[in-house]
Amino acid sequence: MSAVTLPPAAPPITAEEYLKLAPSDRPSELVRGRIVVMNPPFSAHGYWCVQIAGILREYVRAHKLGRVIGNDGGVITERNPDTVRGADVAYYSYERVPRGPLPKGYWPAPELAVEVRSSDDRWKTLVKKTSEYLEAGVLNVVIVEPEKQTVHIYSPDREAEILTIADTLTLPESLPGFSVSVGEIFET
């Protein structure tokens, strides 16, 4: 998604201040204390997010492991100045977010963050977000690239992998035992 940073002259705001702001009619993230307004994604972007969230939720629910969230749920990736990123899809184990009522505010870093690459997303921006997620304690970051039907997997302790529709996606760091054909992800 294209982004515009607003306002350039204001002092940086905190994640807590950002959380209290009135909702905007446009998606945004907080990047180093500055609000970055983004264009709404194309409809296909939402399709791919739901496709991935559905696959993950089915596995997580069947094994009673935790929660899968979507819709750009906020993740604090940096402090002083604060950055709050909105993962397209994320998985939280019950260890990180216990059973019971959902916590208010931003939750801790998830085990898994998924970003779906839109046609106007720059790789430089996605790699920066990936690095922030990993530094914040996310165990796997997955970038799904629908146009090329590839999945990029990042983790703190191994080289990045690029999978094609002939491969199988596993996430041993964040979701042990999970396995899905990349081809299944891209079924329409």
The answer to whether residue 1 scores a pLDDT higher than 60 is no
Task: Compute CA distances 151 → 20, 99, 124, whole Å.
Answer: 35, 30, 16
Per-domain boundaries in the chain = 41-185
Higher pLDDT, 162 or 118: 162
Q: Does domain 41-185 have CATH number 3.90.1570.10?
A: yes
Mean pLDDT of 167-186: 97
More confident residue, 150 or 26: 150
Does residue 5 surpass a pLDDT of 70? no
pLDDT tens string 20-72: 886 777 888 999 999 998 888 889 999 999 999 999 999 999 999 999 999 88
Q: Look at residue 49 in the predicted model and tell me its pLDDT.
A: 95
Cβ neighbours of residue 7 under 8 Å, at least 6 residues apart? 34, 35
Measured CA angle at 19 (ends 10, 6), to 5 deg: 30
Q: Name the token pair of 51.
A: 């496709």
- Give the pLDDT score at 22: 67
Token representation of residue 131: 């690095």
Q: Measured between alpha carbons, how far is 26 from 115 in angstroms, rounded to an integer?
A: 18
- Give the single-character DSSP code of 46: H
In percent, the amount of the chain with pLDDT more than 70 equals 95
What is the SS3 assignment for 111-162? CEEEEECCCCCCHHHHHHHHHHHHHCCCCEEEEEECCCCEEEEEECCEEEEE
Mean pLDDT of 155-176: 96
Give percent of the chain above pLDDT 90. 78
Question: Do 69 and 90 meet the contact criterion of CB atoms below 8 Å apart?
Answer: yes
Could you tell me the pTM of the whole model? 0.90
| Per-residue pLDDT tens digits for 77-114 | 999 999 999 999 999 999 999 999 999 999 999 999 99
Question: Which of these, 86, 96, 106, lies nearest to 45 by C-alpha position?
Answer: 86
**Whole-number pLDDT of residue 6:** 52
